[in-house]
Each structure stands twice: as C-alpha cells, then as structure tokens.
C-alpha cells in the first residue's frame, strides 16, 4: 500500500521550510513514481491557536496510524507566557511519549562544501559521517525521585539516573541495526567508572551484542573521553550509542563539528509496528527561529534532510535518500546558500524558496 506521511509544519519557520519539503515530495511522486499518502495537521502554537491545545487527540491518533511523521518546529515568543500544560513544546513531547520514541538518531555529517564552516580543521571534518543514537525516554530526565526538597535547613535539587535492562537493550538493538546498514561499528558511551547505571549499561550493551549482533564491531568508551575524541578525531566513529543525558551533550557537540543548525536533521524511532517499520518522527534539530520567521531567510535543508532520513529508515528507500543528499551536496558546491551558510560579506544569500528550487533542479539533473 502507499506509504503514509503526516506533516506537522508547526510554528515560525516550520511552515516555510516544510513548503520546500513538499516540493521534494512532489518531485519524488512525479519523477520517480514514488507516491506518498500525505496528510497535514497542526502542532504547537498553531494547534493551540486553533484548538486550545498544542496537539489535539485527533492529530495524536493520526500520528499513531501513519508510517512516519515529519515535523517542522514548534514555539515562539507569543506563546512563552502560556500555562506549562499547553505550551507548544508539550505537543512535541506528547508525540514522543505516546509514540514511545526511545531512540533518537542525530547524524553528524559534513558536506565537503561546508567543511570550512566547522570550528575544527577541514581534514578533521571533511567527509565526516557519524550517527549518534541517544536514548530519549528514560534516564536522569525522567527518573524518580525528582524535585526540589527540603533537607534539614536547606533545599536540595534531586534527579535520579535510572535505566532498566530492557530500556538499555532496545536502544542498543536500534544502534546495532543501524550499524549493519552503515560501517558496522558501534561505540557505546557511559560512565561505568563512577555510575551504577553505567555499569549496567555497559553489561547489557555487551550482552545484546554477543547474543544478537556478534558480527558488529563493538567498543566502549567513558562519555567524557568520548567528548574529547569527538573533537580530536571524529572520523574514528561510525555509530555512537549513549544515554539520554550524555546523548544530549554529545549530539550537540557533534552537531557543531559540521556547521550550521540549518543543516541538521534528526529521527526519533520507536518499536516496530505491525508492518515491521518502526514508529518514527523526523524533524530538523533547529527550532522555530522567530528572529528570521516570515522573511524567507530560513534554510530548508535540515527539514529536507529529515525527509531523506524518512526515505531511508521508514520507507526502505536508501538509494533515493542518497539521491536527495547528493542533490543537497551539489547545490552547496554550486554556492547556492541561504544566509546562515554565507561565508563572505557581500555574497547574495538564496531565499528559502530558491534553496528548495535549486535542490529540485539538482534532483532533475540526477
Ligand atoms: P532556534 O533553533 O529556533 O534558533 C537559533 C538560531 O539559529 C536563531 O538565530 C535562528 O535564526 C537560527 N536558525 C535556526 N534554524 C535555522 C534555519 N533553518 N535556517 C537559518 N537559521 C536558522 O532556537 P531558539 O532561538 O533557541 O528557539 C526559538 C523557538 O524555537 C523557541 O520557542 C524554542 O522553544 C523553540 N524550539 C523548538 C524546537 C523544536 O521544535 N524541536 C527545538 C528548539 C527550540
Ligand atoms: Mg540539546
């Protein structure tokens, strides 16, 4: 049956970048005969304005039914004073929670044309292609007890790092599965030297490896050393798997190896559905960028590359994902760039739509 896709453009630049993704989806339908059953709905502030909630039950239901969800961004200053329960980001959190998206994929990929953008030397990052898999639904951000308590005559802030074996095993599996489609190497990062949860993490990842993925190369690293190695020689890694907290930090570090926020896609995957595909939400790493919203300045590439990840991980269209990424690479090499990717003063930036059109032209030529 026709693969189904729910598009949630959201707020700020979300709808602007999503309009360019629509062009790409239409191109695959017209030129590659790949039809998608696309529906569109509201999330975040846009949903709050229409329904008084940042994600309606109907939209949640739809998200559970489709093969993949593609989200733009949520939030904006006009919503900052809303009650916590209806803040735009609660829409996104509800999606992640109810779809149980425990595996967050953050690629750090350096297009050669942008290697000079990195804060590191060109040869350290050029051609870099690594994947950080962050556990997303457990760990210290969720563990109980938590809160600010009173102890004697002062307050104490408490969070609890907590991982069950099954929570570790399922994200490890997700990393090993990815590695099999890539360079067949996984590096697991924790702090087994000082944390009980780290000891269990290392043990369970090793066990899943030995019993289910003995042919994938597995190494372990302390997360602090991992951070150093990511900046020293990131190309030593293929897939990195780590917990929620370390993954938050390490994926932000890895992101900056490669340049602009406008280039970074992500995927969040859950358990396999009846059709064997994982529950999946794809979204750019960036937010709604209120400072440039409505001006046609936003870089649509992060959202377009998020769709490329959907092609690869939800629709088994890896070759088409490669085609789309190659088109992006070619456009960057041609020097067509939105303002966030400008190097010299006086260069004329491409608009959001011009960037999207250039990617379509490169697809046409592919
Ligand atoms: P942001 O990612 O929206 O913007 C940070 C900076 O990067 C801004 O200067 C922005 O103009 C620039 N930028 C971001 N995406 C860009 C793109 N595609 N092209 C060109 N430039 C781009 O983060 P910020 O400013 O901290 O948050 C703004 C709003 O977005 C807040 O309401 C925040 O809560 C929300 N947010 C939403 C996220 C999501 O939907 N997943 C993630 C992060 C923030
Ligand atoms: Mg972060």
Ligand 1 pocket, residues with Cβ under 6 angstroms = 13, 17, 73-76, 89, 92, 261-262, 283, 286-292, 298-299, 302, 338, 340
Q: What ipTM score was computed for the predicted complex, to two decimals?
A: 0.98
Ligand nearest to the CA of 106: 2
pTM of the model: 0.94
Query: 210, 252, 347, 364: which one is catalytic?
Result: 252
Order of all β-strands in the sheet with 239-242: 37-40, 4-10, 68-73, 278-284, 265-272, 103-109, 129-135, 239-242, 185-190, 217-222
- Spell out the per-residue pLDDT of the chain, length 366, in tens: 899 999 999 999 999 999 999 999 999 999 999 999 999 999 999 999 999 999 999 999 999 999 999 999 999 999 999 999 999 999 999 999 999 999 999 999 988 888 887 778 888 998 899 999 999 999 999 999 999 999 999 999 999 999 999 999 999 999 999 999 999 999 999 999 999 999 999 999 999 999 999 999 999 999 999 999 999 999 999 999 999 999 999 998 888 887 788 999 999 999 999 888 999 999 999 999 999 999 999 999 999 999 999 999 999 999 999 999 999 999 999 999 999 998 767 778 999 999 999 999 999 999
Residue 248 among the catalytic residues: yes
Reported as type and span, the H/E element at residue 251 is: helix 244-257
Torsions phi, psi for 293 (to 5 deg): -60, 145
Residue 347 DSSP label? P
Is 213 annotated in the active site? no
Q: Which two tokens stand for residue 246?
A: 């370390």
Q: Which of 67, 99, 69, 71 is nearest to 1 (CA)?
A: 67
298 known member of a binding site? yes
Tell me whether residue 337 is annotated as binding: no
Answer yes or no: 141 catalytic.
yes
**Active-site choice (100, 112, 129, 224):** 224
List, in sequence order, every residue forming a beta bridge with 341; answer none if it has no partner. none
Question: Which atom number of ligand 1 is nearest to the Cα of residue 290?
Answer: 28
Residue 66 is predicted with a pLDDT of 97
Q: Is 11 marked within a binding site?
A: no
> Rg of the chain over CA atoms, in angstroms?
21
Determine the distance separating the centroid of ligand 1 and the alpha carbon of 288, expressed in angstroms.
Answer: 5
Active-site entry in 23, 62, 141, 222: 141
Using alpha carbons, select from 223, 315, 254 the residue that is nearest to residue 109. Answer: 254
DSSP letter for each residue of 23-91: HHHHHHHHHS----EEEE---THHHHHHHSSSS-HHHHHHHHHSSEEEEEE---GGGTTS-GGG-HHHH
Cα of 338 from ligand 2 centre, angstroms: 24
224 assigned to a ligand binding site: yes
What's the CA-to-centroid distance between 244 and ligand 2, angstroms?
A: 10
Identify the burial level of 182 via C-beta atoms within 10 angstroms of its C-beta, where 0-12 means exposed, 13-18 middle and 19 or more buried: middle
**CATH number, domain 1-105+260-366, options 3.40.718.10, 3.20.20.10, 1.10.10.10, 3.40.50.1110:** 3.40.718.10
| Domain map (residue ranges) of the chain | 1-105+260-366, 133-228
Catalytic residue among 100, 129, 248, 357: 248
Cα(287) to centroid of ligand 1, in Å?
3
Distance CA 260, CA 221 (A): 27
């Amino acid at each position: 049956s026709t693969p189904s896709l729910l598009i949630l453009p959201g707020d700020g630049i979300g709808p602007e970048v999503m309009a360019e993704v629509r062009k790409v989806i239409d191109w695959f339908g017209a030129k590659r005969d790949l039809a998608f059953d696309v529906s569109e709905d509201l999330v975040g502030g846009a949903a709050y304005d229409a329904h008084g909630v940042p994600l309606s039950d109907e939209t949640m239901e739809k998200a559970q039914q489709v093969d993949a969800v593609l989200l733009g961004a949520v939030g904006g200053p006009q919503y900052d004073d809303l009650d916590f329960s209806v803040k735009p980001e609660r829409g996104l959190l509800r999606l992640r929670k109810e779809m149980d998206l425990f595996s967050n994929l953050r690629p750090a990929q350096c297009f050669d044309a942008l290697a000079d953008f990195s804060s590191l030397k060109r040869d350290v990052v050029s051609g870099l292609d690594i994947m950080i898999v962050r556990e997303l639904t457990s760990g210290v951000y969720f563990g109980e007890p938590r809160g600010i308590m009173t102890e004697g005559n002062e307050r104490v802030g408490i969070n609890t790092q907590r991982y069950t074996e099954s929570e570790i095993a399922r994200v490890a599996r997700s990393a090993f599965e990815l590695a099999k489609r890539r360079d067949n190497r996984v590096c697991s990062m924790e702090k087994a030297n000082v944390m009980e949860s780290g000891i269990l993490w290392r043990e369970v990842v090793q066990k899943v490896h030995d019993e289910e993925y003995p042919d994938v190369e597995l190494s372990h690293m302390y997360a602090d050393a991992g951070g150093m190695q990511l900046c020293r020689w990131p190309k030593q890694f293929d897939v990195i798997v780590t917990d929620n907290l370390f993954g938050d930090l390490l994926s932000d570090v890895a992101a900056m190896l490669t340049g602009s926020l406008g280039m970074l896609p992500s995927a969040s995957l859950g358990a396999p559905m009846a059709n064997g595909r994982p529950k999946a939400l794809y979204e750019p790493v960036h937010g709604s960028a209120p400072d440039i919203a409505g001006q046609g300045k936003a870089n649509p590439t992060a959202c377009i590359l998020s769709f490329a990840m959907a092609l690869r991980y939800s629709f088994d269209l890896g070759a088409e994902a490669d085609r789309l990424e190659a088109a992006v690479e070619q456009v960057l090499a041609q020097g067509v760039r939105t303002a966030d990717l400008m190097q010299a003063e006086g260069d004329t930036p491409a608009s959001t739509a011009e960037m999207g059109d250039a990617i379509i032209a490169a697809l046409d030529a592919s």
